[in-house]
């Protein structure tokens, strides 16, 4: 029985012309609806970070990654000579929680001009070098400063640990198993998935990631992630943060993924919102009862 699906989709149709499409998964029944004509496959922007978290979880489950590992140990052969001493104290967990010691976010390819990177950073191509050369004025682990640089670095952690580009790693272990229709990830100039943004998927596939966390890592009877990892994601706020009675992750221009464990409900929507018109849609989910 689906208590919320029809109500949510009907309200979505009244939320303005910014909204492209919505998907609702309730009690494992998935329903999608096109709200206005648009590409079926779109950039989910920062919702991509949760997919990177999922890849890290797979490495954790395979015992190839410890979230308390230090970044300098993982990239010992790529460290700049003048690396900030603070990097000695930065762990994978701190990067996942945007608490690795920076004062301001950077490496946001959605708003920054790559042509300025050479003047600012001395390179237009070496994104890993840009991140690891960054000064850390704050004590690692203390203050959250949201940055796409964190999740580019984590994309490179996945590659370092697995030997595969992040998108390729997830294609066999997640996208294909969850029967995604399309998936492509924007890359840095050296061909590594951005990790933080630039994942192009369909709304009906985005909501499947919500279903995966709702079910404690199982999708259609097949275990994809450990229950332990799913629990840690919710407890530590690794991109899925408390939102009303559930959890959510948002992305630029109104992309949104919401899950409610209590209601066995996952909702995803995609669009292009430049005036916070999507707030009405988020409010519907925040107050759902």
Q: Where are the domains of the chain?
A: 5-48+165-286, 71-160
What is the reported pTM?
A: 0.97
The predicted pLDDT at position 2 comes to 78
Q: What is the 3-state secondary structure (H, E, C) of the chain?
A: CCCCHHHHHHHHCCCCCCEEEEEEEECCEEEEEECCCCCCEEECHHHHHHHHHHHHHHHHHCCCCCCCCEHHHHCCCCCCCCCCHHHHHCEHHHHHCCCCCCCCCCCCCCCCCHHHHHHHHCCCCCHHHHHHCCCCCCCCCCCCCCCHHHHHHHHHHHHHHHCCCHHHHHHHHHHCCCCCCCCEECECCCCCECCCCCEEEEHHHHHHHHHHHHCCCEECCEECCCHHHHHHHHHHCCCCEEECCEEEEEEHHHEEEEEECCCCEEEEEEECCCCCCCHHHHHHHHCCC
- 5-48+165-286 is classed CATH 3.40.710.10: yes
List, for the chain, all residue ranges whose pLDDT scores fall below the cut of 50. none
CB 211 within 8 A of CB 265: no
Please name which of 219, 261, 201, 216 lies closest in space to residue 40, comparing C-alpha atoms. Answer: 201
Q: How many CB atoms lie within 10 A of CB 130?
A: 21
Backbone angles phi, psi at 107, to 5 degrees: 65, 40
- As a whole number of angstroms, the distance between CA 52 and CA 247 comes to 17
- As a whole number of angstroms, the distance between CA 250 and CA 46 comes to 6
The predicted pLDDT at position 3 comes to 87
The predicted pLDDT at position 85 comes to 98
């Amino acid at each position: 029985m689906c208590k919320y699906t029809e109500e949510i989709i009907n309200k979505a149709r009244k939320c303005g012309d910014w909204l492209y499409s919505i998907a609702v998964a309730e009690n494992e029944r998935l329903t999608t609806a096109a709200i206005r004509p648009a590409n079926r496959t779109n950039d989910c922007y920062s919702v991509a970070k949760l997919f990177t978290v999922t890849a890290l979880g797979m490495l954790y489950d395979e015992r190839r990654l410890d979230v308390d590992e230090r970044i300098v140990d993982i990239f010992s052969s790529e460290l700049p000579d003048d690396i900030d001493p603070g990097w000695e104290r930065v762990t994978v967990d701190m990067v996942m929680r945007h608490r690795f010691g920076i004062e301001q976010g950077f490496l946001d390819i959605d708003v920054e001009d790559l042509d300025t990177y050479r003047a600012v950073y001395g390179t237009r191509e070496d994104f890993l070098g840009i991140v690891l050369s960054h000064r850390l004025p704050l004590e690692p682990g203390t203050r959250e400063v949201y940055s796409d640089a964190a999740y580019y670095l984590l994309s490179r952690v996945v590659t370092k640990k697995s030997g595969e580009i992040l998108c390729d790693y997830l294609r066999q272990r997640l996208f294909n198993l969850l029967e995604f229709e399309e998936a492509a990830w924007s890359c840095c100039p050296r061909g590594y998935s951005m990790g933080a943004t630039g994942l192009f998927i369909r709304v009906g596939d985005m909501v499947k990631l919500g279903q995966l966390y709702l079910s404690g890592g199982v999708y259609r009877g097949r275990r994809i992630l450990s229950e332990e990892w799913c629990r840690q994601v919710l407890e530590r706020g690794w991109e899925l943060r408390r939102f009303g009675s559930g959890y959510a992750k948002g992305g630029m221009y109104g992309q949104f993924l919401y899950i409610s464990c209590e209601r066995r409900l996952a909702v995803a929507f995609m669009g292009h919102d430049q005036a916070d018109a999507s707030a009405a849609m988020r409010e519907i989910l925040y107050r759902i009862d």
